[in-house]
Structure 1
Amino acid sequence: MHQHPQRTVDRARRMLDERVRPAVEHRSAPLRIGVWRLAGEPEPFEQATAGAFEPFTAGSAWGPAWTTAWFRLQGEVPAGWDAAVVVDLGFDGGPGFQCEGLVYRADGSIVKGVHPRSQYVRLDPGTATIDLYVEAAANPDIAARAFRPTALGDGLDGGGEPQYRFRRAAVVSIDRGAEELAVDLDVVIGWAVELAADDPRRSKILRALDRACDVIDPDRIHECVESARAELAPVLAVPSAASTHRVAAVGHAHIDSAWLWPMRETVRKCTRTFANVLALMDDYPELRFACSQAQQYAWIEEHQPKLFARITEAVATGRFVPAGGMWVESDTNMPGGEALVRQFVHGKRYFAERFGVEPREVWLPDSFGYSAALPQIAALAGFRWFLTQKLAWHPTNHFPHHTFWWEGIDGTRLFAHLPPVDTYLSELTPAELNHATKNFRDHAGATTSLVPFGHGDGGGGPTALMMERARRQADLEGAPPIEHLTPTAFFERAESEYPDAPVWVGELYLEAHRGTYTSQAAMKRGNRRSEHLLREAELWCTTATLRTGVPYPYDALDRIWKTVLLHQFHDVLPGSSIAWVHREARAAYEGVRVELEDLIAGALAALAGAGDTTIRFNAVPMAVAGVPALGATDRPAPVEQAVTARYNGDQWLVDNGVLRLTIAADGTITSLVDTRHDRELVADGARLNDLVLHHDLPNAFDAWDLDASYRATAAPLRTIDSLRVTERPDAVVVEVRRSHGASAYEQTITVPAGADRVQFAIDVDWHEREKLLKATFGLDVRASEATAEIQFGHVRRPTHDNTTWDEAKFEVCAHRWVHVGEPGFGVAIANDSTYGHDIRRLPGQPGDLLAGRAGTGIGLSLLRAPRYPDPETDQGRHHARYTLVSGAGIGDAVESGLRLNLPVREVRGTAVPAPIVAVDGDGVVIEAVKLAEDRSGDVVVRLYESLGARPTGRLRWNFVAHGAEIVDLLERPLEGCDVEEGAVRFALRPFQLLTVRIRVQEVTGDEDD
């Protein structure tokens, strides 16, 4: 017969959708429904099912936003039925972003979850009477509102309008033959669309589809199933060629630990998803399901211990796979170095203690770019491989590899994979598999790519349809053969066959979601303060334990670290969750602050003892500056230079003996001269500490994205309400008040006597909408590159737009400082809570040989006001500090960042205890001083090289010890070290991270390492 390809495809699709799929349910009978509605938070099974259930009619409305309703389903199974229960809570759209349900037996045991793509509930063999409970969550479909502002993310709305209409609860008889035919048609139609028009295989498929449709009688579907399948069987039986690209299918359910739902709902999403997976494994033993985020396992262990026991059994058989090894799938741009270490430490410890496994792959499919420090951190935590999907989101520059070696700032490499299927939510459709094959950029050296499949973001996981698709395409001509593998099995194969994969050096910068460095400023400040308070708490508590014998607060610190790590999840710290999430996060950060301040105060009080002398404790133990780890008595340094302020017409002249500043009447700095170098820092026509407001209207993803077009809308805030200058013996302080629109700004400029730096603070009562606030510094420094601190080191990025790769970095992430410089002279700007920066060349003056040449502009992104997913993002009061250091090298920048973030502590007492550790070696920074995780009492010191150099030096300690060794991040021995008289000698490579374990207890022959 003459084929009309599109007509054949359309005919087959209609037959599948309108005839075959409806015929899967051969017969059905409604169930009796009762309901118990909860106006508040969820309740456990025993408590909720003890309520008085009211009669409920299918078709009725239920579920104000975020509320829970318990439905009881009762009925009988007709004799002879191959029966299942179908539940439709009012599903509309995809899983994970709307109502969901968890099905329980009457004894409280969990059966499975239900969602739009998994509505059927298997009945236990021999079931005659149905008595099931469904915990139904009325989660509003915020994503369906096309990423527009909505108040539905603000919290529980027990008195609001119902979100859903309960459609159906029934017992049905399943026609297994029709079910199989539906999958056959699904796969064959898919390949009829995907194969090229001139592919002979396509012609055979089209003919088979026509013949199958010919034999299907719409009035007698159940009698035609076998004959229709027989027409399709030949094209489904042709094996694939040996040279075909292969696919490693890994079951997955990317569950955001918070996003368009609160964390309490994530606990239930995990329960529903994991129950689905365990039920699916009963029917499909080949399924391998990879689940990362130790926090999510811990939630199940706490809230659903029986389900956790089933997970433990499945882990033991190798089918349920703890992957990734982090506490959560965190952001990797903004967490500090020690925090990223603890993500791996806490994640790996949990997996080892609960399951006896140690993942070797970093599993971060959806984080928003990846720090160049990550390879070294991961390798020292025992990882070998790295997986992400997010780089497929690049809108401009396509990442050039799918399988590659990723090299970090210190030279450490991880074997990395970017799945060419371009999704971590694959459904194993022919379209996805064909795209993976055609898109893969490394066919020359590699034969296999990984496909994470299963509904995700909001959970759901793999389904029976996906598993059936995999079976039919496991060895099918035209399709990439599918194997169900664990991540470990995939990476072992991929690395062995492609050891000479290309190398990518440096950060994996994501050309999207740049606004996440700034959105929800309270998340950024809360994270930064928490990290540094933890650093102080561990140092002072370790010192107090060694010096005074007070107990070390292991449990408290463990719990606090896990709270901080949880909030580094890649939609919480980046500021891209609903208002409910961020409201709870602000409260959590405040709780962390209060508890850590109490721990620090208690440790310092124990160290200082009784008395009335002021004792100063300094937590900036850094070799470059020679700062001791502990403090001294209250003897302020003498002021060698006076600092003066003089009003001159419409400007103020401030001179501290090192720097001369001109502060204009509008409160900006129009001149800053470093007298040591006779050097003007302000570029022609520019200013320092200039507040600039921009329109901030990204094309999509409000809280996530910052589009380059914002730069065309700069509006400097130069009108002032007042300017006040105060002269003190040690500093001149300039206070500037401004108001603009609905917001008020209070800026403080402090010029300390005899210092090479100027300190800035800003308090903002922010009530703008869709605006971006920056503090800008136009510097007369010609720099083709800018240096920015990252974890355990720094990276250099271009300040020009020579290529599209350079142009894409118009907003970048930095930690405590950025630096620009020329040979012999540089400027650093340190901050206490800012991550987003733009550092770009300033235009010179063409045609005038005597005019200034191109300088460098540094902009600190202080505040945004996106409207989705939280319409009230950042509304309210904010505070930030930053410091400009003139004549600064990289070491000065490192010191300034530490000083700004680690304040000197003052307590009253008598004793001045000696520092417990100190370090020699230019540019060597001690990152952490703590007691060992195994609670042995050993002291662990983590240090790193900060300048990109190769120093030698010593780590010295001042307590009784019985040796020391180099350990990995999990504090397991790596190698011995050169110990002599209370010190360890070392020679570090650029940016090397080194962890030293100092043995406090003497090791006997009976003890294990």
Structure 2
Amino acid sequence: MHDESNLTTGRARRVLGERIRPEIYGERVQLTLEAAELPGEPIEPALGPGLEYAPFELGSAWGPAWGTTWFRLRGTVPEGWAGLEYEGVVDLGFDADTPGFQCEALVYRPDVTPLKALNPRNQWVPIEAGPGGSVELYLEAASNPILLERHPFLPTQQGDLATASRAPLYRLVRAELAVRRPEVAALVEDLELLLQLQEQQPAGSLRAVMLESIDNALNVLLLDDIAGTAAAARAELAPVLSAHGGQVRHHIAAIGHSHIDTAWLWPQRETIRKVARTMSSMTTLLELDPDFRFGMSSAQQYAWLKEHRPEVYARVKAAVAAGRFEPLGGMWVESDTVMPSGEAMVRQFLEGQRFFEEEFGKRSRGVWLPDSFGYSPALPQLIRRAGFEWFFTQKISWNQVNTFPHHTFFWEGIDGSRVLTHFPPMDTYNAQLLGDELARAERQFRDARRASGSIAPVGWGDGGGGTTREMLERVKRLGDLDGAPKVRWESPDEFFERTAAEVPDAPVWVGELYLELHRAVTTSQHHTKAGNRRSEHLLVEAEWWATAAWIRAGLEYPHEELQALWRIVLTHQFHDILPGTSIAWVHREAVATYADVAARLEAIIEASLRALVGEGQLELSANPTSFLTDGVAAGAVSEALEDPSASSVREADGVTYLENEQVSFGFDAAGLLVHAVDLRSGRDYAVPGRPGNLFQLHQDFPNQWDAWDVDRFYRETVTDLAEVQGPRAWVEDGEARLELRRGFGSSELTQTFTLRPSETSVRVHQVTDWNEREKFLKLAFPLSVWAKESIAETQFGFASRPTHVNTSWENAKFETSMQRWVMVPDRDGAVALANDSSYGFDVTRDVLDGAGVVTTLRLSVLRAPRYPDPETDQGRHEHRYALQLGGTELTATELAHGLNAPRRAVRGAHPVEPLVTVSGEGVLLDAVKPAADRSGDLIVRVHEATGHHAAAEVRLDVPFSAVHEVSLLEDAPQAVSVGEDRAVRLGLTPLSVRTLRFVLS
């Protein structure tokens, strides 16, 4: 049977490739070609037909990198084609092996209404003219360079318009009208499917029947008359293709999909066009197949479509209304979930769901994030408090070491919230429904004893064109076919409803969904990350002061501008922008955008403060009674307090000490930290013979995915940077300071340490001129701390990770993430490291004779990968961080907040009382803003930050007529307790987030 099966399949594949496929099209007529190459950026489509076109020869080169060429195609449908099926076929020079990463086009009618896209696996165009009629089509063709090849770690200058070559990249090889032979096309699909399915069958009767039917079909197929005998061949295949499946089957809920990265190997301006192309094709397919259903995430992409391609958007909107097109995910973009702040994650949901509700009259019921690089343990609470019912991803299947034990499960977050979660066992979000994919889904499904099936997102991603009509044909054949899972088009909501009923006792996974890959994304492109962090804090600060100015001084609240700025920042949190994994063009634009955002927010803050404090000479400062964890200190403007006794500098035995009444930090002649003493307890956290403040430079050349990955072996090559140039210590304005300069390789850095009076932390301002290549810079602090776990800030709280590597799961976490601080504690104390623009760190532990357990905490500072941006992070960088002794999660949060949102000095006529005050141990104020529906209600958000049960009081210093607790989407009101003193009393469970909505009087 083995030899016979090889004979059958070998014969079938050759006949299929060499004889049947070429016969899908019969008679053909060449179209006349003209072209107009744009000298710069894309133009409005309405201007396309009016360009100056010149004759263009088939086979000619066209399209420099990132260019746009308009083609005009003209012809006449032959009179003799009456009663036949015909269409246009255009090949721009496609490489079918890399759909989504090369040239693409959108086809327009003469009135410039979009018709359909052209992609490597989607080269057909519907023709609306009848026999004898004239055909005129316009192609807006984008010559995007192929940047994702078989070796994606190769550096390239093609990733930025400023450095890309202007040589043409493609040759247009086909432009014709052609008669399509539907029976031949159907025969291709029949044979393809059976060839794939038989490969997955064990030796036995079903496989034998499949092979026999293939042989029989080929026997009746005449190679010199494919079109005339295709129907007879199909008749031989029909019995096996109509055989019903058994009773116990794996059910696959297929949803049409095209995972379009908001930016990656192309800039955002090109994403706008990718969305338009793909959705024009998908709405065309929805019209062709009444069973087909398609889903798209990211409200931003819908908004772009509405603004730039309203004709396509109208088709999408109609399909949504008909229940055929699913707005997925309920987020502004498919964001990273590890680095955005808690408030930013709230706004991802708020802006996404409000857009869907306003535009389509519906909200997404689940969070759809197939491709982010790991998932924060804070996410389940935010998902549930935003009203979502389920969560979907597949990225964890990319793990390098450990296979995740479930496909359908409940995911539990830091506060105990749980959300029903599904990973598709097909292990892809670009499914084609090939035989091996179907078999893998059924074979790998780990929850088959509880649940009946899985999801398959079906379609080519990015610019690949989405679902194809060939995929639609496969679903028709797989509705109930023996030897294959049962496949049908289905909404993810329907799938999760069925699954929830099937697995009410599904297993539970507690904590982060750590991706054992792409660990370096918390460090790459530091300027982008710094811009994000600063923007997040300024946004919440601007909201606070603008709210206070609206209520206290009657200044109009800038709703439109703040929403627009939030949306800009949310867009840049997309999972290939904030992680630093896009081309140079994307990050160049991102840095400029963040600068503009900061300037606009500073102007809002300045105007608000001017309205609040009036004109005058009194020196004021933001001096809160409480502080925001994701914004400026949200309290009063009051007179600045004088500093207590000054810090000092002293020299002893070659060590320079920065000291105050609380702590003492000692640096040796090399600028390394040899003492870190908490004077309150007398404990020295430094390790004898293992100084801290040690910069370590690693060779950093991962196996692939340069900007994404750091592989464990990077630790095996390290250079300690222990030389220092010209240390200088002094006291200024009561603060003890030390400056250290270091040179290494082609780079240099300067650290300025500052110890303020009465603080327990030393602050550092670091300026680095970074000119290394394929290097990773770490800053190490070996600590005399017997830490069994590290504690890192996450959104609205913190998460713990073991410091041991007892199992492969812990061993794989050799690079981990934080929000703004990480702490290593033991039973007698703790050391925290807070920062203003870094997200990566690692913790290791070992044992030294005489010193016991040593925990080494290392901050990830800078990288220098060369793909996809060969100049990643070259140049000047600023970092601010602080080392705190003897603190807690709460003091670490306060320190981190101060680094990221320092107090403001204000000159005005009078102080301003706090608008909102919060009392309760460990309860922090996160946001104060008008309600998003612009009703005039006030939103106040708080959370418990220490991991304890807490009783909180929230007081509003303005009259209100009612108050309710609401969801993160500011709806679903529930009663809260309001005392006679008008204080709102809340009982908070550990690390819980609560949102109040006040109706102002």
Fold in common (TM above 0.5): yes
Residues 1:254 and 2:253 are matched in the alignment:
no
**Which residue of structure 2 lines up, in the alignment, with residue 520 of structure 1?**
525
Question: Residue 86 of structure 2 is aligned with which of 58, 83, 108?
Answer: 83
Once the two structures are superposed, the pairs formed by residues 356-367 of structure 1 within 5 Å of their partners are 356-367=361-372
Matches of 1:325 and 1:209 in 2, distance apart?
A: 46
8 Å CA contact 2:916–2:957 kept in 1: the answer is yes
Give the letter for the 2:735 counterpart: A
Residues 1:133 and 2:107 are matched in the alignment:
no
Q: Secondary structure of the equivalent of 1:162?
A: coil
Question: Residue 151 of structure 1 is aligned with which of 153, 157, 166?
Answer: 157
In the TM superposition, residue 630 of structure 1 has moved relative to its aligned partner by: 2.8
Distance 1:628 1:286, change over 3 A: closer
Matches of 1:670 and 1:824 in 2, distance apart?
A: 20
Residues 1:670 and 2:669 are matched in the alignment:
no
Give the letter for the 2:508 counterpart: V
**Which residue of structure 2 lines up, in the alignment, with residue 908 of structure 1?**
907
Residues 1:270 and 2:275 are matched in the alignment:
yes
**Which residue of structure 1 lines up, in the alignment, with residue 799 of structure 2?**
795
Give the letter for the 1:266 counterpart: T
Residues 1:450 and 2:449 are matched in the alignment:
no
**Which residue of structure 2 lines up, in the alignment, with residue 1005 of structure 1?**
none
Distance 1:890 1:158, change over 3 A: closer
Question: Residue 318 of structure 1 is aligned with which of 296, 314, 323?
Answer: 323
In the TM superposition, residue 629 of structure 1 has moved relative to its aligned partner by: 3.4
Matches of 2:625 and 2:219 in 1, distance apart?
A: 80
Matches of 1:293 and 1:213 in 2, distance apart?
A: 47
Matches of 1:244 and 1:49 in 2, distance apart?
A: 53
Matches of 1:145 and 1:512 in 2, distance apart?
A: 19
**Which residue of structure 1 lines up, in the alignment, with residue 866 of structure 2?**
867
Matches of 1:502 and 1:145 in 2, distance apart?
A: 38
Post-superposition CA distance 1:952-972 (Å, at most 9, x none): 120011111112110111111
Moved segments of 4+, more than 6 Å: none
**Which residue of structure 2 lines up, in the alignment, with residue 679 of structure 1?**
683
Matches of 1:939 and 1:862 in 2, distance apart?
A: 40
8 Å CA contact 2:92–2:174 kept in 1: the answer is yes
Residues 1:340 and 2:339 are matched in the alignment:
no
**Which residue of structure 2 lines up, in the alignment, with residue 828 of structure 1?**
832
In the TM superposition, residue 211 of structure 1 has moved relative to its aligned partner by: 1.6
Distance 1:840 1:449, change over 3 A: same
Q: Name the count of aligned residue pairs.
A: 992
Question: Residue 169 of structure 1 is aligned with which of 148, 172, 175?
Answer: 175
In the TM superposition, residue 623 of structure 1 has moved relative to its aligned partner by: 9.9
**Which residue of structure 1 lines up, in the alignment, with residue 306 of structure 2?**
301
Q: Secondary structure of the equivalent of 1:818?
A: strand
Matches of 1:527 and 1:473 in 2, distance apart?
A: 46
Residues 1:758 and 2:788 are matched in the alignment:
no
**Which residue of structure 1 lines up, in the alignment, with residue 20 of structure 2?**
20
Matches of 1:500 and 1:654 in 2, distance apart?
A: 57
Q: Secondary structure of the equivalent of 2:910?
A: coil
Distance 1:94 1:312, change over 3 A: same
**Which residue of structure 2 lines up, in the alignment, with residue 178 of structure 1?**
184
In the TM superposition, residue 94 of structure 1 has moved relative to its aligned partner by: 2.8
In the TM superposition, residue 158 of structure 1 has moved relative to its aligned partner by: 8.5
Once the two structures are superposed, the pairs formed by residues 607-686 of structure 1 within 5 Å of their partners are 607-618=612-623, 621-622=626-627, 629-640=634-645, 642-686=646-690
**Which residue of structure 1 lines up, in the alignment, with residue 608 of structure 2?**
603
Matches of 1:209 and 1:63 in 2, distance apart?
A: 44
Residues 1:705 and 2:728 are matched in the alignment:
no
8 Å CA contact 1:275–1:307 kept in 2: the answer is yes
Once the two structures are superposed, the pairs formed by residues 276-287 of structure 1 within 5 Å of their partners are 276-287=281-292
Post-superposition CA distance 1:616-662 (Å, at most 9, x none): 014672499xx98334544433423x433233453323332322232
In the TM superposition, residue 459 of structure 1 has moved relative to its aligned partner by: 4.3
**Which residue of structure 2 lines up, in the alignment, with residue 51 of structure 1?**
51
In the TM superposition, residue 729 of structure 1 has moved relative to its aligned partner by: 4.9
**Which residue of structure 1 lines up, in the alignment, with residue 893 of structure 2?**
894
Residues 1:531 and 2:536 are matched in the alignment:
yes
8 Å CA contact 1:67–1:157 kept in 2: the answer is no
Residues 1:817 and 2:816 are matched in the alignment:
no
Q: Secondary structure of the equivalent of 2:929?
A: strand
Residues 1:844 and 2:847 are matched in the alignment:
yes
**Which residue of structure 1 lines up, in the alignment, with residue 336 of structure 2?**
331
Q: Secondary structure of the equivalent of 1:178?
A: helix
Percent of aligned pairs sharing the same letter: 46
Give the letter for the 1:397 counterpart: N
Question: Residue 209 of structure 2 is aligned with which of 185, 194, 204?
Answer: 204
Residues 1:972 and 2:978 are matched in the alignment:
no
Post-superposition CA distance 1:420-443 (Å, at most 9, x none): 000000001111111100010001
Matches of 1:72 and 1:637 in 2, distance apart?
A: 74
Post-superposition CA distance 1:527-570 (Å, at most 9, x none): 10000001110111111111100001101100000000000000
Once the two structures are superposed, the pairs formed by residues 203-602 of structure 1 within 5 Å of their partners are 203-602=208-607
3-12 vs 787-796, which moves further: 3-12
**Which residue of structure 2 lines up, in the alignment, with residue 804 of structure 1?**
808
Matches of 1:818 and 1:495 in 2, distance apart?
A: 37
Post-superposition CA distance 1:591-624 (Å, at most 9, x none): 1000001111111111111101111014672499
Give the letter for the 2:534 counterpart: R
Give the letter for the 2:183 counterpart: G
Matches of 1:648 and 1:6 in 2, distance apart?
A: 83
Matches of 2:832 and 2:786 in 1, distance apart?
A: 14
Matches of 1:290 and 1:644 in 2, distance apart?
A: 63
Give the letter for the 1:308 counterpart: Y
81-90 vs 116-125, which moves further: 116-125
Matches of 1:318 and 1:655 in 2, distance apart?
A: 68
8 Å CA contact 1:958–1:982 kept in 2: the answer is no
Give the letter for the 1:696 counterpart: D
8 Å CA contact 1:409–1:991 kept in 2: the answer is yes
8 Å CA contact 2:628–2:897 kept in 1: the answer is no
Residues 1:33 and 2:33 are matched in the alignment:
yes
Matches of 1:341 and 1:990 in 2, distance apart?
A: 19
8 Å CA contact 1:67–1:156 kept in 2: the answer is no
8 Å CA contact 2:623–2:638 kept in 1: the answer is no
Give the letter for the 1:208 counterpart: S
In the TM superposition, residue 135 of structure 1 has moved relative to its aligned partner by: 0.6
Matches of 2:493 and 2:319 in 1, distance apart?
A: 17
Post-superposition CA distance 1:172-204 (Å, at most 9, x none): 0111111111111111111121112x2310011
Post-superposition CA distance 1:917-942 (Å, at most 9, x none): 00011100111011111112211100
Matches of 1:371 and 1:865 in 2, distance apart?
A: 26
Question: Residue 101 of structure 2 is aligned with which of 97, 109, 124?
Answer: 97
Matches of 1:523 and 1:159 in 2, distance apart?
A: 26
8 Å CA contact 1:65–1:156 kept in 2: the answer is no
Question: Residue 200 of structure 2 is aligned with which of 178, 194, 206?
Answer: 194
Q: Secondary structure of the equivalent of 2:363?
A: coil
Matches of 2:970 and 2:40 in 1, distance apart?
A: 45
**How big is the alpha-carbon RMSD for the aligned residues of Structure 1 and Structure 2?**
1.5
8 Å CA contact 1:616–1:904 kept in 2: the answer is yes
Matches of 1:605 and 1:246 in 2, distance apart?
A: 63
Post-superposition CA distance 1:821-855 (Å, at most 9, x none): 122311111111110010121x213xx4xx11111
TM-score by length of 2: 0.97
Distance 1:667 1:620, change over 3 A: farther
Q: Secondary structure of the equivalent of 1:64?
A: coil
Q: Secondary structure of the equivalent of 2:841?
A: strand
TM-score by length of 1: 0.97
975-984 vs 550-559, which moves further: 975-984
In the TM superposition, residue 157 of structure 1 has moved relative to its aligned partner by: 7.0
155-164 vs 233-242, which moves further: 155-164
Give the letter for the 2:356 counterpart: F
What 5-or-longer segments of structure 2 have no aligned partner?
none
8 Å CA contact 1:66–1:156 kept in 2: the answer is no
Q: Secondary structure of the equivalent of 2:63?
A: strand
